[in-house]
Structure 1
Amino acid sequence: MKLLIGGYTKKKATGIYELPLYNSKKGLEVELGDAREVIKVGGPTYFVQDGDLIFTINNAGDKGGISAFQLVNGAYQEKDSNLTPGSSPAYIGINRKDKLLYTANYHTAVLAVFSYTDEGKLSLIDSVTHTADTLGPKPEQADGPHPHFFDQTPKKNLVSCDLGNDCVDFYRLQDNHLEHLAKYQNEPGFGTRHIVFSPDGNYFYVVGELSSKVNVVKFSESDWTFTSIATYSTIPDDFTDHNGAAAIKISHDGKFIYVSNRGHDSITVFAVKDDHTLQLRQRVSTFGEFPRDFNWDESEQFVVATNQNSDNATLYKRNAKDGCLTPIQKDIYVPEGTRVLFSE
């Protein structure tokens, strides 16, 4: 098993790094080895994988977009790129069955859908641009809409999270055209960033970057009704320094929610009760600064969080019964990491 980590390339980093995960000889169950660069690319702050293909954000100077790389004879080769003037997207999602990619551009407010081939050829299908309909009161929201997430819903519609407008928007891709279906409005200043869904598809959990909160919402993809159940803070009540909540994950069994905190520098663990309300289970340090992303292996036994500002990552063992994380390896060197992916 191996891990891929990418992020900003403003200081020491130059692309996407690969780290082996192997059985440890130091008394630990597993251990991460040294990071080595496998793809040279600008600002791979988010990327996804389909077999031997990796699709990544690409910050190419005065242009930004996405690029496709394919593993050929043990090395990744660039196969195609779609770059436009201006900033690169913040998020890229994937539909492997239909060979589609979904991007959200925080700076330009553009959501886009691409198709791809087995050889990594990219084609733009459609795009929409968010407008300043419900801008929040925070300084980070004053300059316009900021979509930060665009991916599939349980019923294969599409969903975006807009930090500037404090909202969740739902779309359908019909005849290669994006059609807006519904909107859920978070409280002003929430800073809607990322979203996950319950296994039964009847609830979603949306994290607010600016508010450091998780909002639990019951909803229907049949008639687009929404009911806010409760909202929970990801940080302690007495924490007064700046914090920006970032990534959110839900376990496959739907019993636990995990959120990273940039500022408090921790991962918050919530247990999901039978009525879908949350119960705080743990706040565990990431042993570094500014953890934007974290992820787990397919079995959800091991979790890795990467710290963007301190150039290091932490490996945890996850307890499936209580959801808690136990750090087993710290200070793993990875420069400017923002995206974590256990490789196929």
Structure 2
Amino acid sequence: MMLLENNENGYNCFVYVEKWRDFMKVLIGGYTKKTSKGIYEFNFIGADEYAHLENSKNIIEVGGPTYFQKDDNLVFAVTNAGDKGGVSVFKAGANGYEKVDEYLTPGSSPAYIGINRNKHLLYTANYHTGVINVFSYSEDGKLALLASDTHTAKSIGPRPEQADGPHPHFFDETPAGNLVCCDLGNDTVDFYKFDGKKLTLAASYKNEAGFGDRHIAFSKDGNYFYVAGELSSKVNLVKFDENTWKFEDIATYSTIPSDWDQHNGVAAIRISKDGRFLYVSNRGNDSIVVFAINDDHTLKLVQRISTFGEFPRDFNWDKSEKYVVAANQNSDNATLYLRNSDDGTLSPIQKDIQVPEGTRVEFEE
């Protein structure tokens, strides 16, 4: 649209401004150990370099929503309820979000929730208890536990973070509709068949000792996967076949500079929809590293950019993948970037967005 403005000399001039996108929201949840009350909502205002987040408000009050998923008017949030942990379901209504169901068990809460919105299925991975679960949910958000499995110490790694046993950190679907779990304690990627009632281990891929498998992303063609190693600060590229369960270790890439000698832990990993770029967050180096994906699926470093805060556990983008938000857990802030779809690079357009203890980012459109 065209706006008529006065310039510094008092003359009228026309300035072109793209219509602001005031229909989009950004949700950020995280720990509630300090000041956070749960999940916060921001209005996404503007476009291109004028885009920004504003009007933060706490829309769901819940303990420790370090990960959550959204399906229309339902939010499924990791919940820490004192000596119990699990999943709580909130439904949006005229008066805001109300809790409609929860599934809690003694002990710690899960670290991850995956979702299949078409099948109405949820997948949870519990880092501390070693348990992975499959739930179904109704249109009203009612949960039903369908299947469960408990990881054992079959190949515990040498690092201190692995000494106390298995640590499932991710549980979700593969390109062919099987299920996959990353186990940080065992340094494994475990693949499961699910028949609607029972989980059956189909195959396991073993990373190098101390790799610390955290999250995984699959190539656009479904024939390769990239494992994010939290403890090693590496990404491992693997070719695989979901019919024969054969694996081929192709290459491993560092996410941190060669001269980095301080603590770092890799966290989130994502691949753009066009399959051309891979993004990983570094907690310690406090950056997002951008790799170009070559035709043979190998990686080429494109950019390593600051998150302008401390400990970026998660980042995410809108449906167009034009805007990226990274949440910095320890510095209680977030950063908004513009993403260049041609070369994959990120450009910060808003820094120091105040949000307490953020660990999970989700766009709502």
TM-score range, shorter chain: over 0.9
In the alignment, residue 180 of structure 1 is paired with which amino acid?
A: L
1:35 is paired with a residue of what secondary structure? strand
1:222 is paired with a residue of what secondary structure? coil
Of residues 118, 132, 135, the one that matches 2:139 is 118
Counterpart residue number, 1:263: 284
Measured after TM superposition, the shift of residue 7 of structure 1 is 0.1
In the alignment, residue 7 of structure 1 is paired with which amino acid?
A: G
Measured after TM superposition, the shift of residue 130 of structure 1 is 0.3
Q: Deviations over 1:40-63 (max 9, x none)?
A: 000000000110000010000110
Of residues 314, 324, 334, the one that matches 2:355 is 334
Paired with 1:117 and 1:137, the residues of 2 have a C-alpha distance of 43
2:337 is paired with a residue of what secondary structure? strand
Of residues 46, 55, 59, the one that matches 1:23 is 46
- Say whether the 8 Å CA contact 1:318–1:326 is kept in structure 2: yes
Counterpart residue number, 1:277: 298
In the alignment, residue 33 of structure 2 is paired with which amino acid?
A: K
Q: Deviations over 1:274-329 (max 9, x none)?
A: 11110000000000000000000000000000000000000000000100000000
In the alignment, residue 32 of structure 2 is paired with which amino acid?
A: T
Paired with 2:146 and 2:177, the residues of 1 have a C-alpha distance of 17
Corresponding position: 1:219 with 2:219: no
Paired with 1:260 and 1:300, the residues of 2 have a C-alpha distance of 16
Of residues 114, 123, 131, the one that matches 1:93 is 114
Of residues 314, 330, 333, the one that matches 1:312 is 333
Q: Deviations over 1:116-157 (max 9, x none)?
A: 000010011110000000000000000000000000000110
Measured after TM superposition, the shift of residue 92 of structure 1 is 0.3
Measured after TM superposition, the shift of residue 29 of structure 1 is 2.7
In the alignment, residue 261 of structure 1 is paired with which amino acid?
A: N
- Say whether the 8 Å CA contact 2:83–2:106 is kept in structure 1: yes
- Say whether the 8 Å CA contact 1:34–1:333 is kept in structure 2: no
- The number of residues matched between the two structures is 342
Counterpart residue number, 1:6: 29
Q: How does 1:155-234 map to 2 (within 5 A)?
A: 155-234=176-255
Counterpart residue number, 1:79: 100
Of residues 304, 316, 340, the one that matches 1:295 is 316
In the alignment, residue 3 of structure 1 is paired with which amino acid?
A: V
- Say whether the 8 Å CA contact 2:262–2:284 is kept in structure 1: yes
Q: Deviations over 1:202-242 (max 9, x none)?
A: 00001000000000000000100000110000000100000
Counterpart residue number, 2:150: 129
In the alignment, residue 31 of structure 2 is paired with which amino acid?
A: Y
Q: 1:63 to 1:198 in 2, by over 3 A?
A: same
- Say whether the 8 Å CA contact 1:109–1:129 is kept in structure 2: yes
Paired with 1:36 and 1:29, the residues of 2 have a C-alpha distance of 21
1:28 is paired with a residue of what secondary structure? helix
Counterpart residue number, 2:72: 51
2:45 is paired with a residue of what secondary structure? strand
In the alignment, residue 213 of structure 2 is paired with which amino acid?
A: T
- Say whether the 8 Å CA contact 1:63–1:83 is kept in structure 2: yes
Which runs of 4 or more aligned residues in structure 1 lie more than 3 Å from their structure 2 counterparts after TM superposition? none
Measured after TM superposition, the shift of residue 28 of structure 1 is 3.1
Corresponding position: 1:145 with 2:135: no
Of residues 66, 81, 100, the one that matches 2:87 is 66
Measured after TM superposition, the shift of residue 74 of structure 1 is 4.8
Paired with 1:74 and 1:192, the residues of 2 have a C-alpha distance of 41
Measured after TM superposition, the shift of residue 78 of structure 1 is 0.2
Paired with 1:175 and 1:121, the residues of 2 have a C-alpha distance of 17
- Say whether the 8 Å CA contact 1:134–1:166 is kept in structure 2: yes
Q: Report the structure number with the largest CA radius of gyration.
A: 2
Counterpart residue number, 2:10: none
Paired with 2:94 and 2:239, the residues of 1 have a C-alpha distance of 48
- Say whether the 8 Å CA contact 1:262–1:289 is kept in structure 2: yes
TM-score with structure 1 length normalisation? 0.98
In the alignment, residue 200 of structure 1 is paired with which amino acid?
A: D
In the alignment, residue 81 of structure 1 is paired with which amino acid?
A: E
In the alignment, residue 64 of structure 1 is paired with which amino acid?
A: G
TM-score with structure 2 length normalisation? 0.93
